Each structure stands twice: as structure tokens, then as C-alpha cells.
């Protein structure tokens, strides 16, 4: 029997919001899946991670967001 080891690591990065960006467009850019539910969950994960900065609003130019991804 073959055994496989799957190793994942969380990569934390910063993203500076550009003019025209939305939380949705950033999630679409960084989410590794293309299922709309995955993107929505990823978007809300970004919001939760940055809630102290953006709260319930959308993002605005110049805001620096923390984004975590599995690699």
C-alpha cells in the first residue's frame, strides 16, 4: 500500500487595495477555487481577518489587507 503525505502551509500576505478593487474582486483573485460558494467564503474570511480595519463596509483604495491562503 502506498502512502502519500499531504503538507499544506498557510501563507500570510498583505494586499494594498487599488482603485476599483472590491472585496469580491480581491477574493476572486486569490481564492484557489472557482466555485462561487468558495469565493464567497474566502471573501468573508478576508473580511473577518481585517474586521478591525474595514468592518462591514467594502474596501477603499490604499487600505492594506491581510490575506491568508493555503499553499
Average confidence (pLDDT) over 2-8: 83
Percent of the chain with pLDDT over 70: 100
Q: Residue 65: pLDDT band by 50, 70, 90 thresholds?
A: very high
Cβ atoms of 65 and 13 closer than 8 Å: no
Burial 37-70 (b: 16+ CB within 10 A, else e): eebeebbeebbeebeeebeeeebeeeeebebeee
pTM metric for this prediction:
0.84
Amino acid at each position: 500500500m502506498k502512502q502519500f503525505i499531504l503538507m499544506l502551509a498557510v501563507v500570510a500576505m498583505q494586499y494594498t487595495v487599488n482603485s476599483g478593487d472590491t472585496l469580491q474582486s480581491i477574493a476572486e483573485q486569490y481564492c484557489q477555487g472557482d466555485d462561487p460558494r468558495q469565493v464567497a467564503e474566502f471573501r468573508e474570511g478576508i473580511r473577518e481577518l481585517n474586521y478591525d480595519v474595514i468592518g462591514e463596509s467594502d474596501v477603499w483604495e490604499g487600505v492594506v489587507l491581510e490575506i491568508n491562503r493555503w499553499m
